[in-house]
Amino acid sequence: QVQLVESGGGLVQPGGSLRLSCAASGSTLDYYAIRWFRQAPGKEREGLSCIDSNDGSTYYADSVKGRFTISRDNAKNTVYLQMNSLKPEDTAVYYCATDLHQYCPGYWKAGDGMAYWGKGTLVTVSS
């Protein structure tokens, strides 16, 4: 059983930055690829980023490429999402999840088949 807990959300002004954390308990994250998703009110869930377990290869959606950075600290059993140059359209609940596989698949943006999800953390970008 893997428990994922997101943190680091909050209110930030446009152009600002936040760092989200996805902490795991019940199992080590070392072996698993981790994905970040978000869902804004009235919108479909969007896959943002994925990081492999072994070589740390990373993948990004076009909407966040160049602004968001995913990373992992296996010693802390935590995956991060550094978000810079935030825009009002980034406002959403952000979730981390894993399908318990080592690598990000070609369809990583889809949220189907994920084994575990966190409960999410709210990010609000507003002046």
Per the model's pLDDT, the better-predicted residue between 110 and 81 turns out to be 81
Task: Please determine, for residue 6, whether its predicted confidence score (pLDDT) is greater than 80.
Answer: yes
Residue-wise pLDDT tens digits, 18-72: 999 999 988 888 899 999 999 999 999 999 999 999 778 999 999 999 999 999 9
- Can you give the pLDDT at residue 68? 98
- Residue for token pair 């009002």: 88
**What whole-number distance in Å separates Cα of residue 97 and Cα of residue 35?**
5
Model pLDDT, residue 54? 77
Q: What is the pLDDT of residue 15?
A: 98
Predicted local distance difference test score (pLDDT) of residue 83? 98
- Which of 109 and 118 is assigned the larger pLDDT? 118
Give 95's strand partners: 37
- The reported pLDDT for the residue numbered 29 is 86
Please give the sequence-ordered ranges of beta strands (E in DSSP) within the chain, or none if there are none: 3-7, 10-12, 18-25, 34-39, 46-51, 58-60, 68-73, 78-83, 92-98, 116-117, 121-125
* pLDDT exceeds 80 at position 80: yes
